[in-house]
Each structure stands twice: as structure tokens, then as C-alpha cells.
Amino acid sequence: MINTAEYGNMSWELSVQVDQRDGDEGMRFKFRVKGDLHIGGLMLKLVEKIKAPQDWSDHALWWKQRSCWLLKTHWTLDKYGVQTDADLRYTPQHKPLCLQLPNMKTVKLTVSYSAVVFKTVVKICRALNIRRPEELSLLKPPDDLPKKKKMKKDKNPALEEILDMDIFNGSGGTGERSSPLYSKTMVPTYDPENGTPASATSLWFGDNPLTSSQPNLPPAELAKMYQQLSMVDKAIINTMAVQAADVIDRWLDSSRSLMEQGIGEHDRLQLRFKYHCFFDLNPKYDAVRITQLYEQARWSILLEEINCTEEEMLMFASLQYHICKMTMSTEPLDFSNEPEIDEVEAALSNLEVTLGGKTDRILEDITDVPKLADSLKLFRPKRLALRSYKEYWFVFKDTTISYYKNKETASGEPIEQLHLRGCEVVPDVNVTDKKFGIKLLLPVADGMSEVYILCDNETQYAKWKAACTLASKGKTMAYSSYRSEVKNIQSFLQMKSLAPPPGQSAPDLDTMEMNAECFVSPRYTKRYKTKQVGVYLQYRLTARILEAHQNIASLSLNEAKMRFIHAWQSLAEFGIKYYIVRFRGSKKNELMGISYNRLIRIDMSTGLPVTTWRFANMKQWNVNWEIRQVAIDFDQNVSIAFSCVSCDCKVVHEYIGGYIFLSTRSKDQNETLDEELFHKLTGGQE
């Protein structure tokens, strides 16, 4: 037995705010508690004191000052460090969230605000029927950026059409069992052997508004959104200002919950493809995923988030026009005629993944490694020198190019050998002018050395470009993907050709109804306006788009979207995110480009790559959390270290870890994700 004084010394008064229904803050209750009271006991006391007929199973305690959930109900108040000044809130874990999809449609659905973002995205993608959710993440809108504040006028969110997924899926609760995120009716049945859905998308999803592409914006609206960006601007746009000297990454941290990152009920976020490494993209099962991926690619082209040439812009415009034309047709979508994946190619792909990318070595043991030998032209840039190509005899073997004075001297010593492992391969092509060049940025001790190779025709270019791309990754032409790489390049060149196919007449422009300015970026529209005026501008731009369209006019809707995605992936800057960093030992800021397979050190003043390091050659990486510095070790005793200027070092750490995690995926995983491995690779040890 203890007296009243002793009891007062061992206990204190704790205040808890209770949210009851639909965001209602409800009432505040006070309890006298002791430090050895566990969280589950406190929640029980709350429910008993409230005496309201309500299901409290989804409620949990939120600690406002610490920005954390008290989810471990067996922990005591002392173990969590809860004292009398703690501001606790008993609130539902599942709350409504507004998400803007890549096609600019906004959906509202109920999500978990207490689970880590990685798990929340998985549940969101399940509700939207998007496979491979590990490729996506949540992004804060850029409204708070100083440059974007001007664009907030005339924007009335109340008038925006929002698709309520809770109603669409026939469920309206906030608990886990009643939430659409957990609906079993929207999930296809998977084959237990290969992990692919047993039925096509159309059979288990039906008519879905998320599988249809959105119409293009009028030129005036597109011009308001457009903002020409340099590489430095792109590095800054990835962050948003909080205070004068504080910036945070717009991408949410995958290892923390929404509430922990300041996201409240009914807040707006963007769902985007974060990791540009698209695995098992299948038109039969990925109708929503392909449409949303196409839309993200389309906006990145129209707003010039990724650079492309005028020829490429016209090719993308023709594909957009074709997709718009097919979308507006009254014919229903038919997935039954989609081509099946070749079983041999699928088996080889699975073998590559299973063996960890070493298939080329096995094939080399049982076959001769192919080689290329051709007469090509070469040019090495020099200061104050005109671009003058000289013809040599080239031999491509393994991952090395050797060139000789002529074919007769090929049995002797080469003039020079170019070792392509770790190099950058940049296309230098203009199909209209019959120019098929390859720009190689070769790693040397003090940076990158430029070499230009000029091919005679499309076929020659496709073979050499494919070989160079594989060699840059340390793979030879014996690798199983060489032939498909050649075909993809040839298909890409065919789409870029503006000449009509043989035997096909030019289109009658007078009968066409098209606002051509909707399909190209405002910069290219202005370029035409400087040369032409009035109706003739529209006529000329329409003519060029329709000329390019004739090469893809026979494609189905899904084929056209896939072509657009593949063409987007073929661009030199595809998938590169830029951040401002400072390397150890350097006194100036530089740019770091992070792609799905490499890191690129870029000179900030010129925008040219200085050095490239591939993830395949990485031995280990870690972060010194005290000085916020990333350190990476590569093969051949190469080590780098840098601190991040435009973001926190954890952002770069998560990108690197995320891409390495994606490289471990295989089809035999039956659509399951190793969440523990993802957090181990991306979370860091702060």
C-alpha cells in the first residue's frame, strides 16, 4: 500500500486528443498515468473513457512533437520517452489522399498514413492496378518553388475533376479490411510458376478510365507550364525551398510514413515513376501501367525535361497524334491480339537474371564471340580545328575497337585501340540528312576523351551502335540482347524518317484537322514562328508531323504507346536525375547525374560528362552521416566521395540503393517484393 503523496510522485497527467470520424478533431481527454503503462493499455483507457459506439481498430497514437507513430503497443511510456508535456493524438491510420497521376488526372483514395511510403505505394498501385510498384514513388508538387508561384494563379482546385477510387472500387471505409487498397477483386490470379497474370488486363479490370490517354492541352496552356531548364535548373527543380538556407528533396523518403513527412489528410501528392528501369512491361497485363508511363514520357518531352533534337520531337509528335487519333476512335480496346513474348527470348532473359548478368561469359565459352569489321570515318575534336573525318578500317572485338590505316594493314598493329568499358555512348544522328554518327566519351585518367565515329548507312549504324552500347556495360556481341538492340535501333531510325514509305502518297493536308502546336514543345513552335507566320506556320508544322506519321500509321494503340516509351528510353539523357554536389578535394560545385546503371560526373559550366562510373563495377558504398558525405568504392581501386549541395545525402543514397534493388528482380519471384532488402539498400544507418 502507498499513500497519496507517493502516488503523486510516480504518476503524471497526460492529455490526448481523439479524432473520431471524417477528420473531426473531437475532444481532448486527460489521464493520470505512470511510466510503466504500455501503449496498448493507454489506448484501452481511451476507448473506455470515450464510450462511443465506433470501431477503433484503425486508430493509433500520434506524437506531434516527435513526428512519430506509437505503433509498438507493448512498449511503455517510459521506453518511448513520453512525458507530461507530450501532445498525443488518437487518430485513424488510414486517411484520404489526393494523388495526381502521370496523365494529370487526380484520384482520391484512402491510404495508410502510418506505414512507410514504400508499403503505401505498393497498396496504391494495387488499387490502381499498376504492376511493379517498386518503380514508382510519391512526389511533392512543385507549387512551393519560387519559380512556380506565378503559375498558381487561375488555378481553382475546387473545379478540378477528382476520381474517387473508394466509390469506383465499391468501398468507402478507412480500415484495412474495407479499404480499396486491400480489395481482392481487383487483383489478377498469377501463375505460380512464372509469376505472370493468368488472365489479360481486359478480362479482370474491364473499362478503366486510367487506361485512356488524356487529350493534349491547347498551345496557350502548354506555354504556361513550359519552362526551359538547364542541367543546373533540373538539379534545383528536384528540390523545394523550406527556408532561406534549407532545401528538401521533392521525392518522399521511402522508409518513413506520410505523417512523419508532414503530409496531412486530403493533401495533394504526385504519383510518378521514380526509377527508370521498367521490368516485364507487357501490353496484355499492364494497360494502366503503360498508359501512365506513356503519359509521364509525353509530358517530359513536351515540357523538355529531357532534351531531344527537332527530328526526334517530330517523331514523338507523330506518335502522339496517332495515339490521340486511336483513343478518340469508337472501337473498343482489344488485348487478345497482342503478340506473345517469344519463349526462347523469355528463357534467355530469365537465365541472364538468374546468373546475375554473366550470360555473356557462358555464351563466349560455347561460341565464338562475334566481331564487326567495316570501313568507317573517325574524328577527334581539337581546339580551333574544323570537324574533319578521316576514313579508317575498324575492327570491333570483345569490348574494344581497333582501327587501322586500311584493310590490308589489319593483320598488324592498330593505330589505336579504344576500350569502351565504362564509356558514354551518345547518338549523333540526323536521318533526314543521312548522318549516322556515334559519339564516344571514353574514360581516361583526367576525365573523358571524345571520339566521333561516322557510319555510312542505317544498317551499319545500328550494328555498331548496339555493339558500343553493350561494350560500355562490359558486355560483348555474344550477349543475347545484341540482336534485339539492333532491331530497336533500326525501328527507332525508321520512325524518325520523315519520308513516306515506298508506294505511299503524301497526305492531303487540306483535309486534315490538327492543331500541330499541341504535339511539340513551345520552344519548337517558336522556332517555326521565327521563320514562318500565320496559317503557313500551322500548315508547315502539320505537314512535317504527318510525313513522320505515315511510318507508324499501321500501329495499334498499345503498340504506339510502347514505341513512344522505347523511343523515350533511347534518348541520351533518359532517366538521368541531376544533383549539385562537391567532390572530396574539390573547391567548386559540380553536377552528379544518377541513371539506372551509372553515375556521371558533369562539369557545371559546360554540361559535358567528365567521368562515368557504372553500378556493375561498384564494390560498396556508404554514407558518413556525421559529415553527410557519400563514399563509393569501385573496381581497380577507384574510390570517390562527395557531399550533396542541392539535397540531403540520403537522397543520392536511396537512388543508388533503389537501382541496385531493381537489378535483383526476376520473374520467378511471383510478383513478391523483398521489402526488407529494399530498406536495407536504401534506408541508410543514420
pLDDT digits (tens, 9 = 90+) for 270-306: 999 999 999 988 888 899 999 999 999 999 999 999 9
Mean of pLDDT values over 349-354: 48
Residue 133, in any domain of the structure = no
Sign of CA dihedral 382, 384, 389, 392: negative
Whether residue 641 is contained in a domain is answered as yes
Domain assignment present for residue 534? The answer is no
Determine phi and psi for 198, rounding to 5 degrees. Answer: -80, -15
Please state the rounded mean pLDDT for residues 315-343: 69
- Residue 645 in domain: yes
Q: ∠ at Cα 286 (284, 292), nearest 5°?
A: 140
**What's the pLDDT band for 94 if we cut at 50, 70, 90?**
very high
Lowest model confidence (mean pLDDT) among 162-176, 603-617, 637-651: 162-176
- pLDDT, residue 236, reads 81
- Identify the top-confidence range among 192-196, 339-343, 544-548: 544-548
Place of cell 487498397: 181
On whether residue 435 sits in a domain, the answer given is: yes
Q: Which three cell numbers stand for residue 208?
A: 478503366
Count structural domains, the chain: 3
The answer, yes or no, to whether residue 517 has pLDDT greater than 60, is: yes
Cβ–Cβ < 8 Å for 518, 219: yes
622 in a structural domain: yes
Question: Distance between alpha carbon 334 and the CA centroid of its chain, in Å?
Answer: 28
User: Confidence class of residue 323 from pLDDT cuts 50, 70 and 90?
Assistant: very high
Q: Which pLDDT score, from 0 to 100, does residue 362 have?
A: 40
Q: Band of the pLDDT at 670, cuts 50, 70, 90? A: low
Residue with cell 593505330: 415
Residue finishing a domain among 420, 448, 477: 477
Position 157 confidence tier, pLDDT thresholds 50, 70, 90: very low
pLDDT digits (tens, 9 = 90+) for 425-478: 888 888 888 899 999 988 876 667 889 999 999 999 999 999 999 998 888 998
Specify which of 12-21, 61-70, 426-435, 606-615 reaches the highest per-range mean pLDDT. 61-70
Strand partners, 249: 239
Report the C-alpha gap between 234 and 580 in whole angstroms.
10
pLDDT for residue 196 is more than 60: no
Of 347 and 527, the one with more pLDDT: 527
Model confidence at 516, pLDDT cuts 50, 70, 90, reads confident
Does residue 8 or residue 652 have the better pLDDT? 652
Quick one: pLDDT at residue 58? 92
Which residues have a Cβ under 8 Å from the Cβ of 560 and sit 6 or more positions away?
A: 319, 322, 323, 326, 552
Q: What are the cell numbers at 342?
A: 517469344
For residue 518, what are the β-bridge partners?
Answer: none
pLDDT, position 368: 63
- Residues 115, 118, 120, 126, CA torsion sign: negative
Give the C-alpha separation, 217 to 215, whole Å. Answer: 6
- Range in 357-361, 646-650, 674-678 the model is least confident about: 357-361
Q: Is 641 exposed, middle or buried (0-12, 13-18, 19+ CB in 10 A)?
A: middle
Residues comprising the chain, all counted:
686
- Residue 536 in this model has a pLDDT that exceeds 60: no
What per-residue confidence (pLDDT) applies to 531?
Answer: 52
**Final residue belonging to a domain, choices 477, 512, 542:** 477
Residue 33 lies in a domain: yes
| Run of H or E residues at 436 | strand 435-444
Question: What local confidence, expressed as pLDDT, does residue 424 receive?
Answer: 86
Beta partners for 416?
403
Q: Domain of 395: which CATH number? A: 2.30.29.30
According to the model, what pLDDT value does residue 179 have? 38
Burial class (CB in 10 A: 0-12, 13-18, 19+), 489: buried
- Domain termination site, one of 429, 459, 477: 477
Is the pLDDT reported for residue 527 higher than 50? yes
Is residue 538 domain-resident?
Answer: no
Question: Where residue 29 sits, what CATH number does that domain have?
Answer: 3.10.20.90
Task: Encode 558-589 in three state secondary structure.
Answer: HHHHHHHHHHHHCCCCCCCEEEEEEECCCCCC
| Cα 387 from Cα 406, distance rounded (Å) | 21
| Domain interval for residue 616 | 577-683
Residue 41 has pLDDT above 80, yes or no: yes
Q: Supply the DSSP string of 401-412, one letter for each residue.
A: EEEESSGGGTTS
* Mean pLDDT taken over the chain: 80
